[in-house]
Amino acid sequence: MTAPLPRDVARRLPHAMVRLRARLRTESAPRDTELTWTWPQMAVLSRLAQDGPATISELAVAEHVRPQSMAETVSALLAQGWVVRGSDPKDGRKTPISITEKGGKLISSIPVMRETWLEAAIEEHLSLADRRTLDQAAQIMERLADS
């Protein structure tokens, strides 16, 4: 069996990643909240929980979106009480955004739901050989992302 061409892998991989991401999103959606949320909002909450306060400009750069788009995302998070605006004591022009306790609780629940579903799906649908291959693929994807 010959190795697939890089262009063939490059065409197939994003499609598979999008499909898995969509499924993970469905399986890890907070079902016990009456509030609506979007994937970009969850990405911003995750970033703030992990990296700490950031300005809208910093978040836009980190998430690879326009500042205007990030401002809309942050506005929705502010309205739902998941983040708050702060002030920078060193530079009054900057307005760092911080995650609230409510936002932190929400964001910390998502990986548990995601991993629970994924673990069950892997156990139910994949052979031991498939599990090894998938583990290797995850390692390869991490290397590719860091290249």
pLDDT along the chain (147 residues), means of 10: 89 92 79 66 92 96 95 95 89 90 89 88 95 95 90
**End-to-end CA distance of the chain, in Å?**
28
Rg (CA), the chain: 19
Look at residue 112 in the predicted model and tell me its pLDDT: 84
Look at residue 135 in the predicted model and tell me its pLDDT: 95
Look at residue 137 in the predicted model and tell me its pLDDT: 94
Name residue 46's amino acid. Answer: S
Tell me the CA distances in angstroms from 128 to 61, 101, 118, 122, 134, one per residue in order.
40, 40, 15, 10, 10
